[in-house]
Amino acid sequence: MREGDSGRGRRVFAVLDLTIHSVERVLRFIGACMMLAVMVIVAGDVFARYFFNAPFSWSYDLISIYLMVGIFFFFLSDTFRYHGHVAVDIVQNRLGRRARHASQFVAGAVSCVVFGLALWVGVGRAWSSYVVGEALAGAIAWPMWVALSFVPLGISLLFLRLVLATLGHAVSFALERDFAPLPPLAGTEEAP
């Protein structure tokens, strides 16, 4: 299989990839900040409880409703881009590039279906929560729609990325050129 010289087609994929990635970078920055926030809030909560007998009453809900949800969904698509979602590559190690494009196409297509459905119901769930004004009972009425909107936000990016990868692998397979990047095989390339 030839690599490299497929000119315009590759550039189209590269542009689309970078377009999605520009959003991913914003989201993962927020996700990273949320990660650091969890660290600071948890430690601060314990500190305030142990030394001042005054824990943060809001930390449990804030972390479990928003921050953990944000960390996962804001990293979801970026992790896929960096091939960070662990896969079993024992069979892939023994396949040629074209066969690997074919198998990545199938893998991408079935994933598109599932995440497409999850995106569809995720949007509906977030929207209805916003319309109804769902909020937790308690001292602070944390609105639920914020966390619920993280779900379709993260999944929509992953979905776009899956569609792009699936199409890319289909074209790569058909034209026998590497349009879409193949995941690295463990032990041969730099893992993310």
Partner 1 sequence: QQITLRVADNLPATHFLAEHGTTYFMEEVTKRTDGRVTFEYYPSQQLGKSKDMLTILQSGLADIALVVPSYMSEKLPLSGVIDLPGGTSTSCQGGKVYSELLEQDGWLAKNEFSKAGARKVFVYVNPPYEMFLASGDTPNVLDLGGAKVRSVGGALDLVVRELNGVPVRLAAPEIRESLSRGTVDGIVFPVPTVKSYKLQDLIKSGTRGAKLATVATGYMISDAAWAKLPADVQAVIEAVGDEAMQRVCAHVDKDVAATFETFEQAGITIADVSAQEQQVLQDVFAKVREDWAKGLDARGLPGSDALVAFNDVLAATN
Partner 2 sequence: MLAAAGFLLLVVLLALGTPVGFSLAVVGTAGLWWIGNLDIVLGVLKTAPLSTVSSYELIAVPMFILMAEFVILSGVANSLFSAAATWVGRVPGGLAIATSLAGAGFGAISGSSTAAAATLSATSIPAMLERGYEPRLACGVVAVSGTLAMLIPPSVALVIYGIIADVDIGALLIGGIIPGIIVTFAIVATILTLIWRDPSRAQRSRAYTMREKLASLRIVGPMLVLLFSVTGVIYTGIATPTEASGIGALGAFAIALGAGRVRPALVLQAATRAGHATCMIMMIIMGAHIFGYFFTLTQTTQMLVAWVAALDVTPYLIMALIILGYLVLGCLMDQIAILILTVPILLPVIIDLGFDPVWFGVLVIITAEVGLITPPVGLNVFVVARYAKQPIGEIFAGVWPHVVAHILVIALLVALPQLVLWLPSTMR
Binding site for partner 1 (CB under 8 A): 49, 53-55, 57, 59-61, 129, 133-139, 141, 144
The stretch among 6-14, 33-41, 134-142, 170-178 that binds partner 2 (CB under 8 A) is 33-41
The stretch among 1-9, 14-22, 62-70, 133-141 that binds partner 2 (CB under 8 A) is 62-70
Cα distances (angstroms) measured from residue 45 to each of 56, 60, 104: 5, 9, 45
Q: Which does 160 bind (CB under 5 to 8 A by kind): partner 1, partner 2, none?
A: none
State which of residues 38, 48, 146, 175 lies at the interface with partner 2 (CB under 8 A): 38
Structure-block tokens of residue 40? 């600071």
Q: Which residues, in sequence order, are CB contacts of 21 under 8 Å at separation 6+?
A: 78, 81
Q: Is the dihedral of CA 125, 65, 156, 132 positive or negative?
A: positive
Q: Which phi and psi (to 5°) does residue 175 adopt?
A: -95, 0
Kindly tell me which of 11 and 64 has the beta carbon lying closer to partner 2. 64
- Residue 146 contacts partner 2 per CB under 8 A: no
- Block residue for tokens 């977030």: 126
Residue type, 191: A
Q: Which does 12 bind (CB under 5 to 8 A by kind): partner 1, partner 2, none?
A: none
Question: What would you report as the CA-atom Rg of the chain, rounded to the nearest whole angstrom?
Answer: 21
Q: Which does 18 bind (CB under 5 to 8 A by kind): partner 1, partner 2, none?
A: none
Residues 101-140: x where in contact with partner 2 by CB under 8 A, - otherwise, as a string: --xx-xx--xx-xx--xx-xxx-xx---------------
- 108 close to 165: Cβ distance less than 8 angstroms: yes
